Amino acid sequence: MRLHGNLDCEARWAGVALPGAVQRRISLYATLLAACAPGGERPEIWVPAEVDPARLIAHPGWTPPVVRSAAAGAPGAFDLAWADPAAAAANDRSRALAIAGELGVALPGARVVGSLADLDAQLAGAGGPWICKARWTAAGRDRARGTGALTGELRTRVARLLERFGPLVFKPWLDRVVDLGVCGEVAGGDVRLLEPHRIITDPRGGFLGIELAPQIDRRITEPLCAVAREAAARLAAQTGYRGRFAIDAFVHRTPDGDRLHPLCEINARHSFGWIAHALASRLGVRRLGFDAPPPGATVLIAPGPDRVAAWCT
């Protein structure tokens, strides 16, 4: 089996080139897609850049894949490849925002901004924190956060993002209680969902891992799954997308208590949530992490000077 570990696909859709250090980092992470190969077989996986095989650690039930660098060329067909014509449209953050609006769950003030003037108008009279993201990006890249008016170095950064990526998705930055996700699949006109999981993040929203089977109140999981199912159905109808996806969501604080935002982003691909579920089936683990491995963790990607690591418990 050949897998396409194309974690650079969103940069390709956006028409930008990733720095070499980023390509090497995502290539290491992409090797974990091998967990999604059926039957426990050892696949061949093609990644954007060269990978040091010594960083990939084998365990009972887990054998790292045979890694090939796409920089040296690649065969013409892959399994688990999501870079098809429908995938770019399905992963556009502006489409996810539009679907959230159709379902009545978009955040107040969230919108697409096409210029600094658009953003200035949006921020006029507002003093709260906010974030702007490129329409195609991943892992916390290509975004800007601020509070209140757009001035100084932040204004320069947003101008560069607009120049490089075109229109950006603007949202208020809320006081998160917990980040959540749910994996699913669109096939044959039906939407199938797995149990919701917790997304582990740093204080700035950076992705650090996945926790499966967390204790979540049904008053959160039921509306989360209802929105995820309807959002996926609309995505399929609008773009023709078929296959696996994951919905990102979060619970945030309000003056009236905690509130669920059930549709933050749609990731129309094999996300790390799917990898966590696959590793759970192989190794019986519940948590997949990407920071420094804790004592007793099963290390999948050994830490290196690039600060890349992956582990599970």
Which secondary-structure segment (H or E) carries 267?
strand 257-267
Which secondary-structure segment (H or E) carries 109?
none
Phi/psi at 163 (5° precision): -65, -35
> If phi over 0 gives left and psi between -120 and 50 gives alpha, with beta otherwise, what is residue 104?
left
**pTM of the predicted model, to two decimals?**
0.93
pLDDT, tens digit (0-9, with 9 covering 90-100), for 203-242: 777 899 999 999 999 999 999 999 999 999 999 999 999 9
Q: In the chain, pLDDT over 70 holds for what percent of residues?
A: 95
- For residue 39, the model assigns a pLDDT of 73
**DSSP conformation letters of 111-129:** EEE-SHHHHHHHHTT--SE
Walk me through the domains of the chain, giving residue ranges and CATH numbers. 2-82+273-312 (no CATH), 85-105+175-269 (3.30.470.20), 111-172 (3.30.1490)
Q: Which letter, b or e, does each residue of 13-45 get, where b requires 16 or more Cβ atoms within 10 Å of its Cβ? A: bbebebeeebbbbbbbbbbbbbbbbeeeeebbb
Which secondary-structure segment (H or E) carries 43?
none
Q: How confident is the model at residue 71 (pLDDT cuts 50, 70, 90)?
A: confident
From the number of C-beta atoms within 10 Å of its C-beta (0-12, 13-18, 19+), residue 211 rates as middle
pLDDT, tens digit (0-9, with 9 covering 90-100), for 10-37: 888 888 888 999 999 999 999 999 999 8
Query: Taking every pair of C-alpha atoms in the chain, what is the biggest distance, in angstroms?
Result: 58
Closest Cα to residue 17, out of 142, 159, 112? 142
Bridge-based pairing of strands 287-289 and 207-211 is antiparallel
- For residue 260, the model assigns a pLDDT of 98
Residue pair 237/302 in contact by the 8 Å Cβ criterion: no
CA–CA dist 29, 22 (Å, integer): 11
Bridge-based pairing of strands 2-4 and 44-47 is parallel
pLDDT, tens digit (0-9, with 9 covering 90-100), for 109-132: 999 999 999 999 999 977 799 999
Q: Which residues contact 110 (CB under 8 A, 6 or more apart)?
A: 97, 100, 169, 170, 171, 172
- Crossing angle of helices 218-239 and 93-102, in 10° steps, is 120
- For residue 246, the model assigns a pLDDT of 97
